[in-house]
A and B are shown apart, each in its own frame.
Chain A
Amino acid sequence: MKIASRRAAAFLPAAMTLLILFPAARASDDFFDSVDDHLKFSALNGAVEGRISGLLDLEEYYVQQPSPGLVYENHSFLFNPRLTLNLDLQLGKQFYLFAQARADRGYDPSEESDGQVRADQYALRYTPCADDRVNFQVGKFAGVVGSWSKRDDSWQNPFITPPLPYENLTSILDSAAAPSGSALNSWQNLSKNSRLPIIWDANYTSGASIFGSIGNFDYAAEIKNASISSNPDSWSITSVGFSNPTYSGRLGWRPNEAWNLGVSSSVGTYLIPVAAGTLPPGEGLDDYREITVAQDASFAWHHLQLWAECYETRFQVPTVGNADTLAYYIEAKYKFTPEFFAALRWNQQIYNTVPNGSGGMTVWDSDTARIDAAFTYRFTPHIQAKIQYSFNDQYDGIQATQNFVAAQFTVRF
């Protein structure tokens, strides 16, 4: 596996160099346009219109140990290829069905898997009215909290990794409740496999939603099977059932095309059934919840785009009390030429104090700040290469002064 990773590490820069040197890549435009045309289809005299699209990503990560965020790698390099296929089906005027499947090394880049194929999203939408005032949707799909999930693919995201609130693992576990504040603080050093962020990436949990837009306002409310912090293993309806649902909603306002403002909230059980044995006698999983309030704002004008989100989250922890944290990011992207754009993102997460179990108080995790910079070059409307550098500073934690470099090569069809 190490040899494969090294070969991959050499392959990616070589592939990018070849693309820069050989303008043949630019001649591939016609080919991909033709592929696009062939992946559209129609049936039943136009009653069913469909389209298949996708992304092929080749990613190479250089990480300082312990690996940050949602990258699971015990060595310095990780090669992560990913094929994403999307199906969009319009069934008459009132029904829309979509599905997204991925083949990669795990939902989050991981050395632990040589490959897996998953259905990450699938949902059926019913739009009863001619306008967009109300829609009903059922299936497994991105959560409504925040605004980042619609930018989570490699073509939309100017970075390779998500913003800090969507991937910074805290000392909260889904499989056990900490017996004291001191124990909770020490759990930040546990294996990443059972720790939770405040919101896990695009959060493709299962359930139903109602949403729509009226004038400059839009709304969304959903009931899902797992919390916004839940691990991808919990997202399928068959994994944790629907006995402890999570309720989420968002209200948005678009004063004009440039601005998009929103507030969202979520309440749900973050502990999974295996944690029941760590709860006080007589109490259930749904007595302890993750409660989140979030604000998001975005602005776009000509070649500049700005995004910002702020999350205030409370994990209710048995014995310990309320473990509160605040996380935010501010992100800017500027397009210098048709082919080249750069992005900069400042991220921070700070933690409140909890009783340490010995009569005092302790911070329940280590404050973290991170700056991300990324550069993207689009060779054609279908091919791009991206490089990201991140510097992570964790106060009094094991990931202090940590460097991270990642490169990504993407083909879109």
Chain B
Amino acid sequence: MKLFLGLFAVELIFSMGGWAQAQATIEGHIDLPKSPTAEVINKRYESDGEPGVIIPDPPAAVVYLDGVFAPAKQPATAQMAQKNLDFVPRLLPVRVGTKVEFPNQDPTYHSVFSFSQPKRFDLGRYRGDETPIPSVIFDKPGPVVCRCDIHENMRAIILVLLTPYFARTDAKGDYRIGGLPSGSYTFCAWLNDKTVLQKHVELQKGTTLHVNFP
């Protein structure tokens, strides 16, 4: 709940920034890929109370308004937790410059790392009561694949974007992104590293545009 409130706050700040300029809204639907197969945990050498199967969150996509916008006045903070041997959420969109915290909410060690070009990092092994919460500032755009060095099933993506106008779809693929500036833009739907769908949009003050990505 804390995580989602944090995400909501981040999006609200971005939305209000845009609202000050002009208000436009885009809503719509994206056809998401099918849900990933459950992950069977390797317990060949021991069993220490960890679940046998991890049911991953349904897939999601990220929509964002492409363009050049004023830099953020204050760097934002977001969270990607480790809970029940999985990343929560598995897909996290953030703006460049955002500090992402990685709280461990499991009663066991996690060791989050990434080899992705936009941000290489390795937080080492840390437990839930570690203070301050291990964090990384994402200062270059692009997808960053996060993994755990201990639990090979754990994999998540932080999508670092230049734009402040973005949203993550819900489990059904529906989205709504408000507080957008009026003008002519490219509107993108990021499904994965190889699939970024684009549409040209004309945004007008006070209007709501419906954009679906089949």
Contacts and interface: CB of A to CB of B under 8 A. Distances in A.
A257 B38 CA distance: 26
Interface stretch (A124-132, A164-172, A347-355, A397-405): A124-132
Contact of B40 (A90, A300, A302): A90
B31 interface: no
Contacts of B48: 132, 213, 218
A42 B53 CA distance: 11
B45 A338 contact: no
A98 B53 contact: no
B2 interface: no
Contacts of B40: 40, 49-51, 88-90
Q: Which of B48, B107, B115 has the most CB of A within 10 A?
A: B115
A87 to B, nearest CB: 10
Interface string A368-389: 0000000000101100000000
Nearest to B147: A381
A287 interface: no
Interface in B6-49: 36-49
B99 interface: no
B122 A303 contact: yes
Interface stretch (A8-16, A29-37, A103-111, A307-315): A29-37
Interface in A225-278: 256-258
A22 interface: no
Contact of A98 (B44, B127, B193): B44
A296 to B, nearest CB: 13
B147 A212 contact: no
Contacts of B107: 257
B172 interface: no
Contacts of A127: 47
Contact of B44 (A30, A88, A337): A88
B106 to A, nearest CB: 9
Contacts of B53: 49, 90
Contacts of B49: 131-132, 213
A62 interface: no
A135 B52 CA distance: 13
A320 to B, nearest CB: 36
A8 B52 CA distance: 40
A257 B109 contact: yes
Contact of A335 (B117, B124, B147): B124
A93 interface: yes
Contact of B115 (A46, A132, A380): A380
Interface in A44-58: 46, 49-51, 53
Contacts of A37: 36-37
B114 to A, nearest CB: 7
Interface residues of A, number: 51
A61 interface: no
B193 A30 contact: yes
Contact of A132 (B42, B47, B194): B47
Contacts of B4: none
A150 interface: yes
A108 to B, nearest CB: 20
B155 interface: yes
Chain B, interface SS category? loop
B145 interface: yes
Interface string A338-369: 11000000000000000000000000000000
A125 B38 contact: no
A149 interface: yes
A93 to B, nearest CB: 7
Contact of B42 (A88, A258, A300): A88
B213 interface: no
A100 B43 CA distance: 12
Contacts of A150: 45-46
A121 interface: yes
Given A29-B145, A37-B37, A46-B38, A257 B127 contact: yes
B128 to A, nearest CB: 8
B47 A125 contact: yes
Interface in B114-146: 114-115, 117, 120-127, 145
A26 B115 contact: yes
Contacts of B155: 33
Q: Which of B41, B44, B123 has the most CB of A within 10 A?
A: B44
Q: Which of B52, B126, B194 has the most CB of A within 10 A?
A: B52
Contacts of A121: 44
Nearest to A412: B152
B45 A149 contact: yes
Contacts of A131: 49
Nearest to A379: B115
B201 to A, nearest CB: 29
Nearest to B120: A338
B113 interface: yes
B84 interface: no
Given A300-B125, A303-B122, A305-B125, 19 more contacts: A29-B145, A33-B155, A37-B37, A50-B40, A53-B152, A86-B44, A88-B40, A90-B40, A90-B41, A93-B52, A96-B52, A142-B45, A150-B46, A256-B127, A302-B123, A303-B124, A304-B124, A338-B113, A381-B115
Which 7 residue pairs spanning A and B have beta carbons closest together?
Answer: A302-B124, A150-B45, A338-B122, A132-B49, A40-B37, A303-B124, A51-B40
